């Protein structure tokens, strides 16, 4: 997630830190329909001008939306003025520290279940669903890129890959390859390691393939250093990668040269 996007989410949620504003929000969302300022003020026992101020702040932050309607139910001359009414926004706002993307996992696994119901073996279905999600992620990153970035000199493959993975909470760091210092799937990966880590690797592989990064490949991440996947130069000696995989299987740390540390 970019700094700007993270800041917007924190600001929106921070709007609920004020106890009066929080009470008004909870009152509005608990009602079966949109409510007026008078109804909201009466519902939490605050003056009308106070309710107006806080309700409009909640609208500004995207937590509530407004509509205009005559409360008399009549129309035409003498029906009275339209009232400004408030109801909950459909926008979802979530902040997780460290960053988690259980929504991505849920989307991929739901897609996989549908594929499996059509006859695909489950693990193949998970891999295919993850690769499809990767294509969607790359398309979204391309559309969201600022115009000046699109006109700039071409970025390296590692930078392009990091740009796609960063909004998903991987916290990528470009050094000798790409280290993904955070696991976006947290407890899910801990409880269902083989399934979720396999899905994760298929997702990153899919991003690489969609970007056309033929000079890069995925490898097993070093235990205790964030994500179960890292990205390395495709020309890196396969024996080094095999040593790291063996260290992962054995539950020990491996140095960058593939040597296991006791």
Instruction: Specify whether 242 is located in the same domain as 116.
Output: yes
Structure tokens given for 1? 């997630």
- Which residue matches tokens 């001359």? 77
Average pLDDT of the segment spanning 161-175: 93
Per the domain annotation, does 167 fall within a domain? yes
Instruction: Specify whether 119 is located in the same domain as 79.
Output: no
With 0-12 CB in 10 A as exposed, 13-18 as middle and 19+ as buried, what is 192?
middle
Instruction: Specify whether 172 is located in the same domain as 232.
Output: yes
Domain extent for 34: 3-88
Per the domain annotation, does 257 fall within a domain? no
Instruction: Specify whether 148 is located in the same domain as 191.
Output: yes
Q: How far apart are CA 138 and CA 165, in angstroms?
A: 9
Q: Helices marked H in 121-262 — which ranges? A: 122-144, 147-151, 157-165, 186-191, 193-211, 238-250
Q: Please state whether the predicted TM-score (pTM) of the whole model is above 0.75.
A: no
CATH code where residue 36 lies: 1.10.10.10
3-state secondary structure 13-62: HHHHHCHHHHHHHHHHHHCCCCEEHHHHHHHHCCCHHHHHHHHHHHHHCC
Q: Work out how many domains the chain is built from and give that number.
A: 2
Least confident of 72-76, 126-130, 183-187, 233-237: 72-76
Instruction: Specify whether 154 is located in the same domain as 235.
Output: yes
Per the domain annotation, does 261 fall within a domain? no
Per the domain annotation, does 260 fall within a domain? no
Specify the higher pLDDT residue, 42 or 2.
42
Instruction: Specify whether 188 is located in the same domain as 140.
Output: yes
Per the domain annotation, does 256 fall within a domain? no
Residue 258: its pLDDT value, please?
A: 47
- φ, ψ (nearest 5 deg) of residue 88: -65, 140
Per the domain annotation, does 8 fall within a domain? yes
């Amino acid at each position: 997630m970019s700094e700007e996007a993270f800041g917007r989410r924190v600001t929106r949620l921070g709007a609920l830190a004020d106890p009066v504003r929080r009470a008004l929000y909870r009152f509005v969302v608990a009602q079966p329909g949109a409510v007026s300022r008078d109804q909201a003020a009466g519902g939490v026992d605050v003056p009308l001008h106070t309710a107006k101020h806080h309700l409009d702040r909640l609208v500004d932050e995207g937590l509530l939306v407004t509509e205009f309607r005559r409360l008399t139910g009549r129309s035409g001359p003498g029906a009275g003025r339209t009232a400004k009414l408030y109801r909950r926004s459909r926008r979802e706002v979530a902040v997780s520290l460290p960053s988690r993307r259980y929504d991505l996992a849920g989307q991929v696994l739901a897609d996989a279940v549908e594929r499996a119901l059509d006859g695909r073996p489950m693990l193949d279905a998970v891999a295919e669903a993850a690769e499809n999600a990767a294509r969607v992620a790359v398309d979204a990153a391309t559309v969201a890129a600022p115009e000046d970035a699109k006109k700039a000199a071409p970025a390296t493959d590692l930078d392009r890959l990091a740009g796609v993975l960063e909004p998903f909470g991987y916290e990528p760091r470009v050094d000798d390859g790409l280290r993904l210092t955070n696991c976006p799937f947290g407890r899910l990966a801990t409880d269902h390691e083989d399934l979720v880590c396999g899905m994760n690797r298929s997702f990153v592989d899919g991003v690489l393939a969609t970007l056309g990064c033929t000079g890069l490949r995925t490898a097993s991440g070093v235990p205790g250093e964030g994500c179960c996947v890292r990205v390395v130069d495709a020309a890196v000696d396969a024996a080094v990668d095999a040593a790291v995989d063996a260290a992962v299987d054995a539950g020990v740390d491996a140095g960058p040269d593939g040597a296991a540390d006791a």
